[in-house]
Amino acid sequence: MDSDSIAKRVSLAKKDSKEADRLIQDYMPFIKAETSKFIGRSAGDSDDELSIAMFAFYEAIKKYSILKGSFLKFASLHIRHRLIDYNRREKRSQGLVSLDTPISEENDGLSLADTVQDGSDPYEENELREATRQEIEHLSEQLQDFGLSFADISDNAPKQQRTLEACRKAVVYAKTHPELLEELLRTKKIPLGKLSEGAGVERKTLERHRKYMVSILLIYTNGYEILRGHIMKILKGGGNT
Amino acid sequence: MKYLVVECHKGYAVLLDENASFVNSANLGYEVGQTVFDPVLMDSGKIGTNRRIITVSRLLAAAACLVLVSGIFLYRRNNAVYSEITISDNVCMQVNRKGEVITVESLNSDGEKLLENYQAEGKNQLDATEEIIRKAIETGSIQDGDTVSLYVDTPEQDSFFDCKTEFEEHFRSKHDFKVNVKKYNNKNSTKSYVSSTSAPASQENTVPYTPQKNTAPPQENVTPPQKNTAPENTAPYTPQENTVPENVTPYEQDPDINSRGENFSDFNNETNEKNRNFSDSDKNNENHSDLPDRNENNENYNNHDNHDNNFSDFNNDINENYDNFYDSDKNNYRENQNQDFNQDFSPEYQENQGHHGGHSR
């Protein structure tokens, strides 16, 4: 595949998460080869380094431009940098013993985690996780009605604290005015004018992060208690980044 | 910070943090709904910061380089020696591009006296020169009405002419002395000059002529006159009285280029080759007053230091004459345009011409 076609595919993958997935799948041999080169052995599917390399490949897709030269060279550099960072991070936690370490050499399935006393109930945790998963799936379906996916929302989400704060103010205003949320569900459109006027936030800011605003406002409609509970900090006046 | 895994892809996962921010991370075997605590996040924010730092660093580095280069440029402009001006062989001033004096040094004991308790650094070259000359007048080194020679050494020809014009214009209004600006080519050679004012040159200011090593070519190299050309007993050119001082042959001792940029020395050498009369004239010192043109040219010659054009004209006259004299038709000097010149030779020559049937035009 020549460099021009790769560049075209990369530019498509920037906007379309499915195309990005396809590109990663097509270039798995390349990603595996780069990982193996770094770790000095053949990279398996279960290796964290391979996951890091795939993530680095996805990052390269997002950051690539033709001015940076060949995409594969750019991606190769990016993969290497990511693996180096991951290596350093892992070295910091060296000396720590994993809770998954088996207790005995016999393959009886018992690990250190089983011996540690913990107040939490694993069954509860599993149930909580399952419920969370269902809420997220439901939200994902609702977002599809708006023509959105979580990948699109993550690209559109505000990165600066100042902008995040402005969006938080708009969400707090919408929470105290449920009619705005109803309008959102009914019209499938955000009432940006009323929100910006009521919350005292620039309309341009809300427009720039429209996709993100849709997802957060949807979370504040009925049925998403777990997700609302997760982002309670935003209602308490912002949190740590 | 807790992160909720909301979406999983092949190469990455989308997480929702407690600040209601959606972020991308590496998918280390995550499942939707899982809570993670230490994900490998995409460096979007961090890289922006680094990029800003790198950009600012680069801008600062570029600004620092610019300041350094400007500083070096200004230092060279203000402190680097651009030209040197030597005043009558007594004092030498080093001047920067702006015409400001950087250093001044004495070249002899007279110079030392002139520079006693005198600071020229930072002054304009014209002011400093005038002050030094006035001090020389006060001490008696220079008399009223004398001509002071200024030898200017510049890297470029154009800058020499600019400097010469500047000095001449500045000192034109001064009535108690005159200046003669010349180009200084060779620091090791002794400079010399010819007094060029109406007032007689003071002996104290005359630099004795020291013949240079590479002036007139040896006689062996002179093309001997061809047949029927200038006879050996031709009356030599003699300057008038009170013109060129003895032992001074301006042609030879002045290798400078005149104000028209003509290569004087080559011209002079050529003229000397052809005009043995001219070089002989100084030695014989015969009055050649029968040659009105020549007399006129003598005056021009005497004034040549002040009026280079005249000197060049004189030379051109000579050259013209001798071009005719050593015409391509060398066998027939009857082609000589300046019959008067030929006829003004010695009677012996004229007599000889008569024996050969004379020459007619």
Residue B55: the pLDDT is 66
B19 vs A: CB within 8 A: yes
pLDDT value, residue B347: 57
**DSSP letter for each residue of A91-132:** HHTTTPPPTTSBSSSS-S--BHHHHS--SS-HHHHHHHHHHH
| Residue A77, pLDDT score | 94
Question: For residue B41, what is the DSSP state?
Answer: B
Give me the residue label for tokens 């498509």: A12
Q: Regarding beta strands B3-8 and B13-17, do their DSSP bridges make them parallel or antiparallel, or are they unpaired?
A: antiparallel
Token pair, residue B68, equals 């350094």
Contact A153, A212 (CB under 8 A): yes
- How far lies B90's CA from each of B171, B188, B298, in Å? 19, 15, 31
Report pLDDT digits (tens) over A196-221: 999 999 999 999 999 999 999 999 88
Amino acid at A193: G
Q: Is the pLDDT of residue A117 over 70?
A: no
Chain B touched by A159 (CB under 8 Å): yes
- Say yes or no: B36 contacts chain A, CB-CB below 8 A: no
* Residues in CB range of A72: below 8 A, 6 or more apart: A3, A6, A30
Summarised one tens digit per residue, pLDDT across range B310-340 is 444 444 444 444 444 444 444 444 444 444 4
Q: Do the Cβ atoms of B19 and A234 come within 8 Å?
A: yes
Which residue is associated with the tokens 């990052």? A59
B20 Cβ under 8 Å from any chain A Cβ:
yes
Tell me the backbone φ, ψ of residue B148, rounded to 5 degrees: -105, 130
CB contact under 8 A, A51 and B21: no
At residue B312, the pLDDT reads 43
Closest residue in A to B30 (Cα) is A51
How many percent of chain A have pLDDT more than 90?
Answer: 41
Model pLDDT, residue A241: 39
Helices assigned H by DSSP within B21-93: 44-79
Q: Name the more confident of B279 and A138.
A: A138
Q: Count CB neighbours of A145 within 10 A.
A: 10
CA distances (Å), B274 to each of A46, A221, B317, in order? 104, 115, 13
The terminus-to-terminus CA distance of chain A in angstroms comes to 41
What confidence score (pLDDT) does residue A153 get? 92
Out of B1, B21, B28, whose CB is closest to A164?
A: B21
Name the amino acid, one letter, at B2: K
- Say what the pLDDT of residue B139 is: 85
Question: Residues of A numbered 167-206 whose beta carbons fall under 8 angstroms of chain B's beta carbons: which are they?
Answer: 168, 171
As a whole number of angstroms, the distance between CA A99 and CA B359 comes to 131
> pTM of the prediction?
0.48
Give the pLDDT score at A74. 94
Which residues of chain A have a CB within 8 Å of the CB of B20? 164, 168, 171, 216, 219, 231, 233-234
**Parts of chain B with a pLDDT under 70:** 44-55, 185-361
Partners of residue B15 on adjacent β-strands:
B5, B23
Inform me whether the C-beta atom of residue A20 falls under 8 Å from chain B C-beta atoms.
yes
* Residue B354: per-residue pLDDT: 53
Judge contact between B28 and A51, C-beta under 8 A. Answer: yes
Q: How far is CA A159 from the centre of its chain?
A: 13
User: CA nearest B121: which of B143, B145, B137, B105?
Assistant: B105
More confident call, A159 vs B5: B5
B60: which 2 tokens? 């600062």
Rounded to two decimals, the ipTM of the complex is 0.86
Query: What's the one-letter identity of residue B118?
Result: Y
Nearest to B20 by CA among A234, A20, A63: A234
In which band, very low, low, confident or very high, does the pLDDT at A30 lie, cut at 50, 70 and 90? very high
B9-39 residues labelled b (16+ CB within 10 A) or e (exposed):
bbbbbbbbbbbbbbbbbbbeebebbbebeeb
Which pairs count as long-range contacts for B195-203, CB under 8 Å and 24+ apart, including other chains? Answer: B195/B147, B195/B245, B195/B305, B196/B147, B196/B303, B196/B304, B196/B305, B196/B306, B196/B307, B197/B145, B197/B146, B197/B147, B197/B306, B199/B145, B199/B146, B200/B242, B201/B146, B201/B147, B201/B245, B202/B142, B202/B143, B202/B146
Q: Which of A47-56, A132-141, B270-279 has the lowest mean pLDDT?
A: B270-279
How distant is the Cα of A144 from the closest Cα of chain B, in angstroms?
13
Interface test mutation site (partner B, options A230, A232, A233, A235, max chain B beta carbons within 10 A): A230
